[in-house]
Chain A
């Protein structure tokens, strides 16, 4: 079946512009995560959505970053007034609840490579 998809795959933007990154999770997955991988650095958590609950925004690096998830499916990560340090690969992952009630493994999308010039 279809995996997690993200668009665009690459985005080049000028410093100060706003960008929107999209994630389509696997159908039926209730949990959705955004992560970021900056050049030369490891992966870091940004934000987590679970069903209709309030999102966990504890990983967002500044108030220029926001995300929403409409209808419990598609999510959009928005970065306002982009800065060069925002350049990174932004990864989305989704997961479902396993039969034991515990979170299942996470399936990752291909990522969006953002370059801020």
Chain B
């Protein structure tokens, strides 16, 4: 079993819909990252969080340390949000080297 599991693996939605991507992990962590990878391959860090909730524009990330679970939400989704979203964790003893989920491929149709 992977240390980091994401769901769903693929998600297709219509423009304007509220999107939720989930991430569960099985190890003790010092931080959890949400990353975005566009078709060209470049990776952008969206959030790094260790507790609670963070918001940036239409993106919201939450984490529940006790339940070892995080969610990434996108409000008022837009076709430009189409990308692969990757959850990654830094193990407590891992010097921040990341362990990655398999990613969620999101497609937003106009």
Contact = CB atoms under 8 A, between A and B. Distances in A.
Contacts of A108: 35, 42-45
Contacts of A33: 96-98
Contacts of B95: 48, 50, 56, 103
B96 A31 contact: yes
B36 to A, nearest CB: 10
Contacts, number: 56
Contacts of A104: 48
Interface in A56-72: 56, 59
B63 to A, nearest CB: 14
A20 interface: no
Nearest to A106: B45
Interface residues of A, number: 24
A77 interface: no
Given A33-B97, A42-B100, A45-B99, A107 B88 contact: no
B33 A43 contact: no
Nearest to A95: B96
Contact of B98 (A45, A110, A113): A45
Contact of B88 (A31, A43, A95): A43
